[in-house]
């Protein structure tokens, strides 16, 4: 399969090449694919991933074919494979997919056009991790030896699972923190008040209320008090340490309202970088390199 499905398929050299290409695009380098069309198939809600892919496609001069699951033949029972195979037959040059099923792309092995994974279940969110890495690289100019703590709903988070794997490969020390019921032991767990004093990056995760089978056994106020980033915790951070969050953010839950846009927050920079990372990935795939 072509495109970008999981970062596990990419070497650290290829990841660095994509980050550097995204930085070049951010500095103004332009490349255009005016005869190409790409469809965005989002089976789960999305603002950042869906629309930053669309902005990236527009910046590359590519036509965006929009897809509404409610108005499509998905509602008549058409499968994901037959939907993607149809767009391939229609002459579309690539497809962006977000789906709740883990590794949905295993059903699409016969598809020849590039597939760009916009998130699958709890498993992969490769372009989110690339934009996180680009933001970290812009900040620190390296990965080796940096300490990052990912805080919150690790268990349900494809962002955490993708980042833990790739950050370790890049030489970072990755820790997790937050409520015990969300600890899946994917990294060493440390208390948040220790993490904020020692980390270079504190990456907060959204509490994913929509994925929980049962309600959290604490209130959102208690969550914020125990595991949320507030101004007191920000004041404990190292001078050059930063706060990241893939967003959407629950203000007042995992992050205080005034912290979301404080001097240490890189949340909106992450969103900006997402456009350039997605331009880099799409361009590289259309050039036959992914």
Which residues form the interface with ligand CP (CB under 6 A)? Answer: 46-50, 119, 128, 246-248
> Which residues fall within 8 angstroms of residue 209, CB to CB, at 6 or more apart?
216
Rounded distance between C-alpha atoms, residue 272 and residue 1, angstroms: 28
Buried b (16+ CB within 10 A) or exposed e, 151-190: bbbbbbbbbbbbbbbbbeebebbbbbbbbeebebebbebe
Nearer to ligand CP, 6 or 33 (CB): 6
CB of 133 vs ligand CP, minimal distance in Å:
14
Nearer to ligand CP, 94 or 126 (CB): 126
| Helical packing angle, 12-26 and 267-286, nearest 10° | 110
Rounded distance between C-alpha atoms, residue 206 and residue 56, angstroms: 25
What is the bridge-based pairing of β-strands 3-4 and 94-99?
A: unpaired
Nearer to ligand CP, 50 or 177 (CB): 50
Nearer to ligand CP, 53 or 137 (CB): 53
In the three-class reduction of DSSP (H, G, I as helix; E, B as strand; rest coil), residue 69 is classed as coil
Nearer to ligand CP, 3 or 274 (CB): 274
Q: Are 178 and 164 in contact (CB under 8 A)?
A: no
Q: Tokens 């680009």 appear where?
A: 134
Q: Are 254 and 207 in contact (CB under 8 A)?
A: yes
CB of 246 vs ligand CP, minimal distance in Å:
4
Nearer to ligand CP, 136 or 247 (CB): 247
Nearer to ligand CP, 33 or 117 (CB): 117
CB of 110 vs ligand CP, minimal distance in Å:
27
CB of 26 vs ligand CP, minimal distance in Å:
18
CB of 120 vs ligand CP, minimal distance in Å:
12
Could you tell me which of 278, 221, 268 has the C-alpha nearest to residue 246? Answer: 268
Could you tell me which of 157, 174, 170 has the C-alpha nearest to residue 120? Answer: 157
CB of 76 vs ligand CP, minimal distance in Å:
27
Could you tell me which of 117, 101, 98 has the C-alpha nearest to residue 9? Answer: 117
Nearer to ligand CP, 88 or 280 (CB): 280
Rounded distance between C-alpha atoms, residue 175 and residue 264, angstroms: 19
CB of 248 vs ligand CP, minimal distance in Å:
6
CB of 254 vs ligand CP, minimal distance in Å:
13
């Amino acid at each position: 399969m072509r495109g970008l499905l999981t970062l596990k398929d990419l070497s650290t050299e290829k990841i660095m090449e994509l980050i550097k290409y995204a930085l070049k695009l951010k500095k103004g380098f332009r490349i255009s694919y005016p005869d190409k069309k790409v469809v965005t198939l989002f089976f789960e809600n999305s603002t950042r991933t869906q629309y930053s892919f669309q902005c990236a496609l527009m910046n590359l001069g590519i036509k965006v074919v929009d897809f509404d699951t409610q108005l499509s033949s998905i509602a008549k029972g058409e499968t994901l494979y037959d939907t993607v195979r149809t767009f391939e037959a229609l002459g579309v040059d690539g497809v962006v997919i977000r789906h709740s099923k883990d590794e949905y792309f295993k059903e699409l092995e016969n598809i020849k056009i590039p597939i760009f994974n916009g998130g699958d279940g709890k498993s992969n969110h490769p372009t989110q991790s690339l934009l996180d890495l680009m933001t970290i690289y812009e900040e620190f100019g390296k990965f080796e030896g940096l300490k990052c703590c990912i805080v919150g709903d690790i268990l349900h988070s494809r962002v955490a699972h993708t980042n833990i794997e790739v950050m370790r490969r890049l030489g970072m020390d990755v820790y997790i923190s937050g409520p015990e019921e969300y600890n899946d032991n994917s990294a060493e767990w440390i208390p948040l008040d220790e993490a904020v004093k020692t980390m270079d990056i504190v990456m907060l995760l959204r509490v994913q209320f929509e994925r929980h089978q049962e309600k959290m056994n604490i209130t959102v106020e208690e969550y914020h008090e125990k595991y949320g980033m507030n101004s007191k915790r920000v004041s404990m951070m190292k001078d050059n340490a930063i706060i990241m969050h893939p967003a959407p953010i629950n203000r007042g839950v995992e992050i205080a309202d005034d912290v979301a846009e404080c001097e240490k927050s890189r949340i909106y920079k992450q969103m900006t970088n997402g456009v350039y990372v997605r331009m880099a990935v799409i361009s590289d795939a259309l050039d036959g390199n992914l």
